[in-house]
Structure 1
C-alpha cells in the first residue's frame, strides 16, 4: 500500500524530527554544563575532586571522590565542620534538582553506581591543565587541618598563604619560602595559593605540611603518598625541622585517625609514641622529609 503524504504533513514531520534531535542535544548540553558548574563549586574547597555519586531519586549529592577513589566528602557522615559545608552542598543540590528531571542521564555520561539505582557516578570535567593541586595533612589534638596548595601558570610569581579564616599568614609564609629555597629547591613559577581548611588552632606545627604541599604541586612529591602521611613540624629559615609542643600529641592523634606514617623532627622521633603497623620517621630538614616521602609507605 502506498502512503500519500501531503506537503504540509511532510514538512511538519521533518520539523518535529528536527526539534526532537535539537531537544536531545540541548538536554545533554544542559546536563553537561550543570556538571561543569557543580564541579567548579565543589573544587573551590575540594580542588582534587574528580568524581561524584548522585542520588537521582532524592536529587542530591551523595559522595565526592578524588582521582584515586578516596572519599573527600560523604553524606551524611561528613559533619558540619567539614570544609564542604552545608551551604555549598545546598548550592550543588539545587543544580541537580533542576537538571535531573530532564532525563537523558546516560547520554550525558552518568553511569549507574556499584550501589545500583538510584545512585549514579559522574566524572567531573578535568580542571584546567594550568592548575596543579596538592594536599597535605596536619593532625593533632588542637587542630585537624587540610593544607591545599594550588599552582597556576602566570607571567609573574606570587605566593599567598591563608589560614582557615582566610587571613594572611605572613610569618609562616616567610619561614616556608626561606626553608624551601635554603633546602635547595627552586621556587615554583606562577601564582601559588595555599589555603588551610578544617578546625582548630593554626600553629607553626603546620609549616612542614605547607612546604611539602607546595613542593608536591610543583612536582617534587608524589601527591598520593603525601595524602597518606601526616606531617608535624615547624621549619627554620635554613630548612631544619623543629619540634613543637603539639608533635608528640599529634602522633597519638594521627594514629587514632588511622594514619600509618607520620614525619616529625628527628629530635622528637625517639620519644614519640609508636604506631602499630606504622612508622614515625624523624627528619633533620625539609630535604630529608621529601626523600622520606619518595619511599613506599611500608618503608
Structure 2
C-alpha cells in the first residue's frame, strides 16, 4: 500500500518535530541553568559543594555533599547559626520548584539517588576558572589557521570574533552563535574573544573549528581532544555541518601537515581521500562533532 502525504500535512509534521526538539532543548537548558545558579548560591557559603540530592516530590533541596561524598548540609538542619541559612535554602528551593515540574530530569543528568525515588542526585558544575583558553585547527590549501578562544568572567557577556588582522567577522560570528544555541548548548557567560591566527583567508569551512574551540573554552569539550584534530565544515544556523569546496582538498592537506584525525560533514566522507594510519570522521551536526571528540583517539 502506498501512503501519500499532502504538502501542507508534511510541512506541519516537520514544524511539529522542530518544535518538539526545541522544547526538549529548552527544557534541558533550563534545568542546567537552574543547577548552575543554585550551585553559585550554595558555593557562596559552602565552597566545597560538589553534589546535591533533591527531593523531587517536595521540590526541595535534601542534601549537599563535597567531592568525597561527605555531607556538608542536610535538611532540615539550617537556621540563623548555619552558614547555609534558611533564607539561602529558600532561594534554592524556589529555583527547584520552578524547574522540576517541566520534567526531563533523567535526560538532564539527574540520577535516581541511592535513597530511591523521589530523591535524585545532581552533580554541580565545576566553578569556572578565571580564564579558559581553547585552541582548534583549520588546515587547507588556502588557509593554515589556529583558532584561539578565550573565555573570561565579566559582568556583561560579549562575543568578539576577529581574523588575523583584527577585522571583525560579524557574519561568521552570528552564524556560529546560532548554530551553537540551536544545537542545544547554553551560550557561555562572560567575555568571549575568538581570534584566528596563521596564514590565509578564513572562510565558512572554519565554522566547525570556531564552534568547537568556543565549546571547549566553555567546558563542553575536553580541550586536549582538539590538539591533533583538524575540523573542516560550514555550519548551518540549525547546527548542521555542511561540506564546502575546501573540504576534500583540506583532508589531503591535513594529512600532508601530519594530522591523523579530520572531522568533516558526513556527506563528504565517501569522497574524501584516505589518511594512512589516520581517520576521517563524518558528522551530521555540531552535537555529533562534540560526541566524536569525546571518543579516545590514538595515532
Report the TM-score range of the alignment, normalised by the length of the smaller protein: 0.5 to 0.7
Which consecutive unaligned segments of at least 5 residues does structure 2 have? Answer: 1-127
Do residues 159 (structure 1) and 159 (structure 2) align? yes
Deviations 1:48-82 (A, max 9, x none): xxxxxxxxxxxxxxxxxxxxxxxxxxxxxxxxxxx
**Which residue of structure 2 aligns with residue 197 of structure 1?**
197
Do residues 177 (structure 1) and 182 (structure 2) align? no
**Which residue of structure 2 aligns with residue 266 of structure 1?**
266
Mapped partners of 2:158, 2:270: distance in 1: 38
Moved over 4 A (4+): none
Compute the displacement of 1:129 (Å): 4.2
**Which residue of structure 2 aligns with residue 209 of structure 1?**
209
Compute the displacement of 1:155 (Å): 1.2
Compute the displacement of 1:161 (Å): 0.2
- 1:180 match: secondary structure: helix
- 1:289 match: secondary structure: helix
- 1:270 match: secondary structure: helix
Mapped partners of 1:177, 1:295: distance in 2: 24
**RMSD of the alignment, in Å?**
1.3
Compute the displacement of 1:298 (Å): 4.0
Compute the displacement of 1:198 (Å): 0.2
Which consecutive unaligned segments of at least 5 residues does structure 1 have? Answer: 1-127
Compute the displacement of 1:200 (Å): 0.7
Deviations 1:142-171 (A, max 9, x none): 000000000000111000000111000000
**Which residue of structure 1 aligns with residue 227 of structure 2?**
227
**Which residue of structure 2 aligns with residue 148 of structure 1?**
148
Mapped partners of 2:176, 2:129: distance in 1: 26
Compute the displacement of 1:261 (Å): 0.3
**Which residue of structure 1 aligns with residue 187 of structure 2?**
187
Mapped partners of 2:191, 2:227: distance in 1: 22
Matched residues, number: 172
Mapped partners of 2:222, 2:260: distance in 1: 17
**Which residue of structure 1 aligns with residue 294 of structure 2?**
294
Q: How does 1:35-184 map to 2 (within 5 A)?
A: 129-184=129-184
- 1:133 match: secondary structure: strand
Compute the displacement of 1:202 (Å): 0.8
Compute the displacement of 1:226 (Å): 0.7
Mapped partners of 1:136, 1:227: distance in 2: 7
- 2:264 match: secondary structure: strand
- 2:263 match: secondary structure: strand
- 1:264 match: secondary structure: strand
Compute the displacement of 1:185 (Å): 0.2
**Which residue of structure 1 aligns with residue 101 of structure 2?**
none
- 2:271 match: secondary structure: coil
**Which residue of structure 1 aligns with residue 43 of structure 2?**
none
Given the two structures, how large is their TM-score scaled by the length of structure 1?
Answer: 0.57
Deviations 1:266-294 (A, max 9, x none): 00011100001110000000000000000
- 2:238 match: secondary structure: coil
Deviations 1:81-126 (A, max 9, x none): xxxxxxxxxxxxxxxxxxxxxxxxxxxxxxxxxxxxxxxxxxxxxx
Compute the displacement of 1:201 (Å): 1.4
- 1:165 match: secondary structure: coil
Deviations 1:178-233 (A, max 9, x none): 00000000000000000000001110000000000000000011111112100000
Mapped partners of 1:225, 1:255: distance in 2: 18
**Which residue of structure 1 aligns with residue 44 of structure 2?**
none
